[in-house]
């Protein structure tokens, strides 16, 4: 299924939004990989990806959640027992920003993923703390924001002339190109060096 049917990419404001995202990208908080918990990053990112898939969250939400996790961990000392909570709140914030309301997971649903280990007040307090750290702005573009948009232009109907035989329609070819980009983006979440 193509993601393009339900996104801002097909609106008359798409170019304006991309310009705004580019400006916001220049203001992103840098990630220095200096967190004392950095050794847990790979596990947390893998878990976030699996969780997002189970919750049917889009790729942009996953990338935003990982960025939030990265910069928050990079700038805070977090006890090991709270890392799962931080990851859950990052996916919650990303979903609230990127998903339709009906697809935003509930705190109780997220907490159930860790055996209801944390009180709801911990989720709310940490959500407040992360948002305060971000100066109350979640407009934090990631590679996924740009890739989802620019993938629209990666294929054209003339590409069907040289397309492999397994692609019988242009939409199949376009969907395959989009999937390849998502696969590479997925790999980029883990590979920092």
Q: How far apart are CA 187 and CA 147, in angstroms?
A: 14
- All structural domains of the chain with their residue ranges: 1-27+141-193, 29-137
pLDDT at 8: 66
pLDDT at 82: 96
Give just the sign of the alpha carbon dihedral 39, 41, 42, 47: positive
Q: How far apart are CA 70 and CA 58, in angstroms?
A: 19
Q: Return mean pLDDT, the chain.
A: 88
pLDDT tens profile 136-189: 988 888 888 888 778 878 888 888 888 888 888 888 888 888 888 888 888 888
Angle between helices 83-98 and 59-75 (to 10 degrees): 140
Q: How far apart are CA 103 and CA 97, in angstroms?
A: 11
Cα-to-chain-centroid distance, residue 33? 18
- Whether residue 193 is predicted with pLDDT greater than 60 in this model: the reply is no
CATH of 29-137, one of 1.10.1760.20, 1.20.1250.20, 1.10.472.10, 1.10.150.80: 1.10.472.10
Residues 6+ apart with CB under 8 A from 183: none
Q: Residues of the chain with pLDDT > 70: what percent?
A: 94
Cα radius of gyration (the chain): 18
Whole-structure pTM value: 0.84
User: ∠ CA(70), CA(73), CA(79), 5° rounding?
Assistant: 145
pLDDT at 1: 29
């Amino acid at each position: 299924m193509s993601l393009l049917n339900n996104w801002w990419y097909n609106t008359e404001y798409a170019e304006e939004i991309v310009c705004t995202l580019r400006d916001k990208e220049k203001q992103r908080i840098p990630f220095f990989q200096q967190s004392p918990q950095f050794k847990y990053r790979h596990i947390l990112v893998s878990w976030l990806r699996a969780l997002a898939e189970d919750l049917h969250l889009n790729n942009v939400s996953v990338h935003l959640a990982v960025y939030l996790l990265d910069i928050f961990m990079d700038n805070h000392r977090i006890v090991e027992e709270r890392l799962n909570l931080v990851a859950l709140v990052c996916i919650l914030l990303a979903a609230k920003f990127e998903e339709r309301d009906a697809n935003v997971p509930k705190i109780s649903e997220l907490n159930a993923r860790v055996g209801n280990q944390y009180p709801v007040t911990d989720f709310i307090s940490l959500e407040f703390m992360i948002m305060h750290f971000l100066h109350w702005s979640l407009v934090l573009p990631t590679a996924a924001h740009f890739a989802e948009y620019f993938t629209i232009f990666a294929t054209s109907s003339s590409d069907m002339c040289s397309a492999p035989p397994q692609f019988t329609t242009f939409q199949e070819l376009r969907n395959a190109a989009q999937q390849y980009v998502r696969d590479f983006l997925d790999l980029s979440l883990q590979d920092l060096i």
